Amino acid sequence: MVSSGLCFSLTVLLLLMLVTSELTVDYYKRTCPHAESILRQVMVQKIREAPTTAGATLRLFFHDCFVDGCDASVLVSSTPGNKAERDEEINHSLAGDAFDAVHRAKAAVEKICPGVVSCADVLAIITRDLVQLVGGPFWEVRKGRKDGRLSMASRVGRNLPTSTASINELTRLFASKGLNEIDLIALSGAHTIGFAHCTEFTNRIYNFNGTRAGDPSMNPGFLGELRRACPPRNGNPDVVASMDAATPFQFDNSYYRSMQRGLGLLTSDQELLTNARTRSVVDAFASSQDLFYEVFAASMDKLGNVGVKNETNGVVRKECHRT
């Protein structure tokens, strides 16, 4: 008899059939054969200096891909005549360590292969490396992305999810990027190394759904800890809370297990557990880290193929912050 776990795994893999694209694993085989090893060495040093870099860079990659595709447009700085993506309000919380990681990585590869490796590929590769360096899975990064020619704050709009989004809202947004509900649940697992500012969950701990009380699904002890760290008024705007209080610097499946204990931080996190459509997948990932890793890696591959640019509509920037 075939086990239910195996059936679930096979179903997931069918849903995560890799998309067809022009990207290839060996894209730089002749032009910059040591690109990946160069980038990894830089990330090994960076993660030693700043352990939060992995979560920060993973978030940066997500924000880049969801707005005009994976084209490194989120890295571009604003100019007097243009407000770039990174200066849109929702991107203000993107961490400096993530931008620094890309800057260091790009500078290192430029010394060996000038003008060859795109910023978009650099971001995709180092995201994978950083995830693995903190215990996560490995996946082959297909390469050949070109960098976008534009970066406009006005394009960010509703292309990024909010911390209070419902499952239906999240599902529609992900579907608009060619990602399904399984991808949504798996990629949400990136929160296992994520942090959030108090403003992203204040309503949940003080005025959930207008009740003037905390979300009753939250663990009472966890709710109390969050309230002590994040007062309702005059709090420190720089304070952050871990989305995975158990192992905040380790990429694992603790995020899903925490939700089962009422320790989900964001409303959108906890909805994955309370929604009938998504709960079974959350439970499956909570019970099998191997399954989560397998699906997460496949979903990251799909994410990395969203809206990629090629030679006709993209370039290779020598400096990632300039178009």
Determine if residue 144 is labeled as part of a ligand binding site: no
Rounded Cα distance, 317 and 121, in Å: 11
Please determine, for residue 54, whether its predicted confidence score (pLDDT) is greater than 70.
yes
Rounded Cα distance, 74 and 72, in Å: 5
Phi/psi of residue 109, nearest 5 degrees = -75, -25
Please determine, for residue 101, whether its predicted confidence score (pLDDT) is greater than 90.
yes
So what's the pLDDT on residue 238?
84
Determine if residue 127 is labeled as part of a ligand binding site: no
So what's the pLDDT on residue 7?
54
In the predicted model, what is the mean pLDDT of the chain? Answer: 92
So what's the pLDDT on residue 175?
98
Cβ distance 39 to 122 under 8 Å? yes
**Percent of the chain with pLDDT strictly greater than 90:** 87
| CATH dotted code for 24-160 | 1.10.520.10
Please determine, for residue 20, whether its predicted confidence score (pLDDT) is greater than 50.
no
So what's the pLDDT on residue 10?
45
pTM of the model: 0.91
Indicate the range of 5-9, 90-94, 120-124 predicted with least confidence: 5-9
Q: Domain spans of the chain?
A: 24-160, 167-299
Determine if residue 294 is labeled as part of a ligand binding site: no
Indicate the range of 87-91, 134-138, 254-258, 267-271 predicted with least confidence: 267-271
Tokens describing residue 146: 């070109």
Rounded Cα distance, 275 and 299, in Å: 21
CA of residue 249 relative to chain centroid, distance: 15
92 is catalytic: no
Determine if residue 244 is labeled as part of a ligand binding site: yes
In the beta sheet, which residues pair with residue 240? 197
Question: What number is the average pLDDT over the span 226-240?
Answer: 90
Name the CATH topology of 167-299.
Peroxidase; domain 2 (1.10.420)
Q: Assign 5 to helix, strand or coil.
A: helix
Catalytic residue among 63, 92, 103, 197: 63
Give residue 167's identity as a one-letter amino acid code: I
Cα four-point dihedral sign 128, 160, 311, 317: negative
Determine if residue 73 is labeled as part of a ligand binding site: yes
So what's the pLDDT on residue 1?
42
Question: What number is the average pLDDT over the span 309-314?
Answer: 94
Residues 271-301: pLDDT tens digits?
999 999 999 999 999 999 999 999 999 999 9
Cβ distance 302 to 141 under 8 Å? no
Question: What number is the average pLDDT over the span 225-239?
Answer: 90
So what's the pLDDT on residue 235?
82
So what's the pLDDT on residue 5?
53
